[in-house]
Structures are given as structure tokens and as C-alpha cells.
Copies of this chain bind each other. A is one copy, B any other.
Amino acid sequence: MSSENDQLVWKAYAVKDTKKWSEFEIINFEPKTFDDYDIDIKINYCGVCGSDVHTITGGWGGNTILPLITGHEIIGTVHRVGPKVTEFHVGDRVGVGAQIWSCLECESCKADKEQYCAKAVDTYNDKYPNGDIAHGGYSTAIRAHERFTFPIPKELDSKMAAPLMCAGITVYSPLKANNVGKGKVVGIVGIGGLGHLAIQFAKAMGAKVIVFSHSPSKEKDARELGADEFVVTSDASFANQWERKIDVLLSTADVSSGFPLGDFFKVLAAEGTFVVVGIPDDKLPQFAAPGLVLKGAKLAGSKIGSKKGIIEMLELAAKHDVKAWIEELPMKECGTAVKDVKEGHVRYRHILKMDLE
């Protein structure tokens, strides 16, 4: 076990050019300035998220802070705690997700909705208010405020817990917010890193789960994960067959050009909600107003979740044995891992094991 007296190393696998997005180099980096509520965490595992790929490839546009250290599904061990940290001790197993800071003073922060704070800082490719750069988890260590550090229940394996830090909470949070539970019919669109967890969480919450996918080859996995029904969306008649039958649709697929959003509004029940959790490189597709207006439906966005939500989710995962299906790689193979995500070859989450000393 590490202790405050050991020297923590700050090394990472970083991309130096978004055009060479699968070429990672080992670099040394400076963490943010240490504050009273900060925790230094020695990283053991980091999941590979679709956001890593959008950012590394510059798909979201905007400025990329180079060299770029991605990764926000982090599990590690507390190495040092600031003088005002009350919740954690050296040696605790903890997680860090996609958000690393917020103001803690606004309405959103006070209402346990800190993910919607206007001043929210992302775990990587972002800056703290003082200008310090936020670096992600393809690295030996991370420094995080205790509000953005999460205790990991002992029932959960570290490798399994890593994908819950972003993929897990991203799907759990809107399922919870939309009152998914017994008697509700939930549609999960797409089976990937997020979708395979969404199926398990919706099932654990007691809902009937319908999986929508354009890949008939994924039916076996969908059913093994808990799907009650599997619907192939490449057959255009799916919307007629499922018209007005689904209370909540959660899309874990890219909702962008070519996505049949109008068909999915047909599938929604009266006053149903279609939830978007991902940010595609291009805009949301057009759809006709009647799908929304005539049945009082909603198109809702949802961003990761709060610490409160993450703690609830981890408890539910432990209780219902929600388990990511993972492929473990040593972190030096992060280039291969991000390529696999970009090309859709992962079933269903790459977990990188830290291999730097």
C-alpha cells in the first residue's frame, strides 16, 4: 500500500497531435496546484470511453490542450489527502469520473446536480479557474477534489468498477431521473460500452427492457445482458410494430445524421422521453414536430451524473451484480484501444492497466 511518504510519479501516455490520434508518447506532467480538499490518487485502471476518441481526434472541434492526457474512468488508491478532506484516507480504493471540479456554490451544485454547474471542469482537456490544466487517467496519478472522488464498494472489482465512473453513471442517471422501474418499458438504443451497462441497470431497476440495434448479430449478447426483447432497426417497419409502446428511450448510439430519430418518436408512448447522452461530432438530426407535440413527448439531454447518483449506482451495481464486459490491456496499448473504439470493435469496454512506474 502506498503512503504519503512514498514519492508519487506523474507520468502519462499522451497524444501530441490530434492528426496522429493513435500515437501515444510517455510524458511527465504537472498536476494541478494542491488544495486543501484535494486527494492524490495512484491510478491502477482506466477505462477507454468514446469521449476519449472524440477528443483525441478533434472531432468535437474547439481547442485541444496538447499534449493531451485522456481517460476518465479511473480507479486507484488514495496516496495523499489535503488537510480538509474528511471522507477519504490514504489507502482507500476510489474512483474518478468525467468531471473533476465545480463551483459547489450554485443552485445546481447545492441540489446535487453538480454536473450541470456552469463552471464545471472536465477531467481532461479542460482548465481550472486558476489556469491549471486538468489531465486525465491514462496516467500514473490524478489529483482530484474530494467531491469528485468516489468510494468504491468492496463487492466491486476494480476493473469492473472503472467503466461505471463514466459509462455507468451516464446511463444510470437518466434512467433514475425518468423514474425507470417496475411497470415501465424502457428502450435501450445501441449496445456498446454504455448500452451494455444500460440494459443491466434498467433490468436491475425492475423495468421491461427492449433493445434496439441495427446489428442482428448482437441479439445473443443483448439477451444475456437482460433484454426482454430485441428489435432490429435496419428493418424500417420496426417503428410501426413498436408504436407508442416505450416509456423511456435511452440512446447510447450517436444521434446524428442518419439516425432515425423520427421513427423513435413514433415508438415513444404518450408523454414519453427520448434521452440523448452522447455528443456526436455533428448536429442532431432533423425530425418533424408532430412526433413531439401530438403526444407530449420530450427530447432530453443528460450529462454523466452527480456524486450522489454515482454512490447510488455503485450500490445498485453491487447488489444486482451489474458487470461491465471488459477486455483488459496494458496501458502501453492505449493506441490500439482507442482505434478499437473508433472502429467499433470493442465488446464492450477496454480497460487499461497502468504499467508505468
Residues in A lying within 8 Å of B, measured CB to CB: 107-108, 113, 115-118, 244, 255-256, 270-271, 273, 276-280, 283-303
Contact = CB atoms under 8 A, between A and B. Distances in A.
A46 to B, nearest CB: 23
Counted per complex, copies of this chain come to 2
Contact of A301 (B255, B279, B298): B298
Contacts of A270: 107-108, 113, 116-118
A290 B107 CA distance: 20
B283 A288 contact: yes
Given A108-B270, A244-B118, A271-B113, A297 B301 contact: yes
A286 B284 contact: yes
A115 B273 CA distance: 17
A123 to B, nearest CB: 14
A220 B241 CA distance: 52
22 contacts: A108-B270, A108-B271, A116-B270, A116-B294, A116-B296, A117-B270, A279-B289, A279-B290, A280-B289, A284-B288, A284-B289, A285-B286, A292-B301, A294-B303, A295-B301, A295-B303, A296-B300, A296-B302, A297-B300, A297-B301, A298-B299, A298-B300
A243 to B, nearest CB: 8
Given A116-B295, A284-B286, A284-B287, 13 more contacts: A108-B270, A108-B271, A113-B271, A115-B296, A116-B271, A255-B289, A277-B293, A283-B289, A286-B286, A292-B301, A293-B303, A296-B300, A297-B300
Given A107-B270, A270-B107, A294 B301 contact: yes
Nearest to A177: B296
Most chain B beta-carbon contacts within 10 A, residue among A115, A277, A292, A296: A296
Contacts of A271: 108, 113, 116
A113 B295 CA distance: 10
A39 to B, nearest CB: 26
B287 A283 contact: yes
A313 to B, nearest CB: 16
A278 to B, nearest CB: 7
Contacts of A298: 273, 298-301
A273 B300 CA distance: 9
A118 to B, nearest CB: 6
A273 B295 CA distance: 16
Contacts of A285: 286
A255 B284 CA distance: 15
A302 B293 CA distance: 5
A355 B289 CA distance: 36
A286 B286 CA distance: 5
A299 to B, nearest CB: 4
Contact of A303 (B113, B280, B283, B296): B296
A276 B296 contact: no
A289 B300 CA distance: 10
Contacts of A296: 113, 115-116, 300-303
